[in-house]
A and B are shown apart, each in its own frame.
Chain A
């Protein structure tokens, strides 16, 4: 699948449709669904540490789901390989509206050390409107949680742009 096709696909999928909905990040608890889109597993591991390492996830009002059907936001790690693009799309389609997209790690933004080639798309930056980028290779669990909390706090105080559909 060419990158332009995938871009068109993501844009179509993420375009606003129907009545205006409240920003997804204002939800409490905010339920995340994690997809590793093809990286070295380090970012996924730090997200796992966030869940299991006593970072006060429940107190922050954030949860992880084992199914995209129950999730508010899709949390993507890894550089988005061409083979994972349809999987991310399927997970995104399965999520209820309103929904949002978080890209964790340098790879998920622009590919990091793995820019676009025959097998990878080089991150989500040019392929989908992402609500939150968390930089780092890999970012620490505190950085990930801090970024998510900042977005939710902004959304709950009503000062965020409604980028979600």
Chain B
């Protein structure tokens, strides 16, 4: 060290292996419409692809808009909620993929290939994700969609392992099994094992509920786009709407009143309780614990009826709108004080309900003979795999991964939040964690309700004029199943671009890995413990 001056704008740092710091590399690109968006050329993008393998930068999403591919990252060294976006203008129908260093990018690359016909080089997985030749065109969103291809009568799947071909059986689940979850197909190769028939190969086929939500949002108003965001998956409706509105507000430079932010947080917590109760009830059903399942469904019904009576909506869709909240369907002009009071009343009723009924329910959950033992050791996920996928939410936190976006949010500033975590990584850890999170959320609702009452809100919705000049914003919300991110481009008074990152495809990947080796008898319990929303995978 010669102790010389450190010049500003220094070239990106290089570590011992000569790799550059990925975040610095992205920042060295040309600014593209926002302080966190940078355009890279192909050489820089390739440099990024190389540097990611030895860099902690978390991958969030990868999208295409026809002209460019755009990758979003968050720097865990800066709290994890400040993103960085790298943009690569496409030259042809291929780009250097990112799934090599970041396995979570695989589902995004597959979706881009299906929708835009743009292929990732060095891709980890080249199978189609949502396009299984049932659409009216291939690459339907590209400027020149391809001709429709007709699917073979029997769907094509990968090669089965030898053990299954020799002496095993095929087990399938879905897409129509009389159940109530969104349709998906699971094809399992089952081979004889030392402890009975065990799963040797797993292939998930999704795409049954693909509706093209993001492409439908483009070109419309922000209000219409927020309605669509609420219909990605019912278990994350409020979270998706909040994340979309947060991104749109950041782009337009509008800030929602603090009382509205607290109301949004309260709605998200109610939704978390609702989603976890659903997941636990279905898990108990799969594990043949009929009494526990019935009580969990009954608790969920109580919650839904309460919301139905007080807010007019049993599911919390369309409560959040750009600029604030619209409880009772009144976007603005309604009596903000009474709206806030109604929501505060719901929060406190639910908290009281938590102290009595849910606490008793937890006792039943723990003491039902054989239930916890049935779940223990099933569907094991490993910390290293979750780290590689960058998966948070219940599945990530159940094997000891930290991280909760709520910790950095202003809406949660006045309440005491202690994110729950477990280290088991099995179905029992996930179930216990859901139960912990339900109780934590109900506690939070008590405080959020008190905050809402104390806020004396004059308005729960700020005016939201959609900008004419192009602008970009991002939003991130901790939904029931993990972090949901939105990047929204506004301009010409409408929504120009929407990019959505949902944790569900990564949960599906984790589920596939956890099913391998499971006893055939345990398959339904393992899948119920992950509670993947196929509707959120397909979008």
Contacts and interface: CB of A to CB of B under 8 A. Distances in A.
A44 B271 CA distance: 17
B218 interface: no
Contacts of A38: 182-183, 208-211, 535, 538
A33 B228 contact: no
A140 to B, nearest CB: 6
A1 B134 contact: yes
B176 interface: yes
Contacts of A42: 231, 234, 237, 315, 317
Interface stretch (A8-16, A112-120, A147-155): A112-120
A38 B182 CA distance: 7
B211 A119 contact: yes
B294 A52 contact: yes
A138 interface: yes
Nearest to A83: B134
B535 A53 contact: no
A93 to B, nearest CB: 12
By CB atoms of chain A within 10 A, which of B207, B232, B234 has the most? B234
Contacts of A1: 134, 150
B421 interface: no
19 contacts: A2-B136, A38-B535, A39-B209, A40-B232, A42-B234, A42-B237, A44-B182, A48-B297, A52-B301, A53-B298, A67-B178, A79-B211, A82-B134, A84-B183, A86-B134, A87-B175, A114-B211, A119-B130, A119-B210
Interface string A37-53: 11111101111110111
A57 to B, nearest CB: 13
A85 B132 CA distance: 13
B227 interface: yes
Contacts of B507: none
A138 B209 contact: no
Interface in A44-70: 44-49, 51-54, 64-68
Contact of B209 (A34, A49, A68, A78): A78
Contacts of B533: 41
A52 B281 contact: yes
B182 A83 contact: no
A91 interface: yes
A164 interface: no
Contacts of A81: 134, 208-211
Contacts of B145: 118
Interface of A: 1-2, 33-42, 44-49, 51-54, 64-68, 78-79, 81-88, 90-91, 113-114, 117-120, 137-138, 140
B176 A91 contact: yes
Nearest to A32: B178
A1 B149 CA distance: 9
B47 to A, nearest CB: 36
- Interface class of chain B by DSSP: loop
B216 interface: yes
B111 to A, nearest CB: 12
A86 B298 CA distance: 35
The 8 A-B pairs of least Cβ separation, nearest first, read A53-B301, A48-B180, A52-B297, A118-B140, A66-B178, A42-B234, A38-B209, A40-B231
Nearest to B174: A87
Contacts of B538: 38
Contact of B176 (A47, A51, A64, A87): A87
A52 to B, nearest CB: 4
Contact of B234 (A37, A40, A88): A40
Interface size classification for chain B? 35 or more
A45 B135 contact: no
B441 interface: no
Given A39-B535, A117-B212, 19 more contacts: A34-B178, A35-B176, A37-B183, A38-B182, A38-B538, A39-B209, A40-B234, A42-B317, A52-B281, A52-B294, A53-B297, A84-B209, A87-B176, A113-B216, A114-B216, A118-B145, A118-B212, A137-B317, A138-B315
Contacts of A44: 180-182
Given A42-B315, A49-B304, A83-B134, A36 B181 contact: yes
B314 A140 contact: yes
B132 A36 contact: no
Contacts of B308: 140
Nearest to B314: A140
Contacts of B134: 1, 81-83, 85-86, 119
A86 to B, nearest CB: 8
A40 B237 contact: yes
B271 to A, nearest CB: 12
Contact of B180 (A34, A85, A91, A113): A34
A66 B140 contact: no
Interface string B155-193: 000000000000000000001111111110000000000
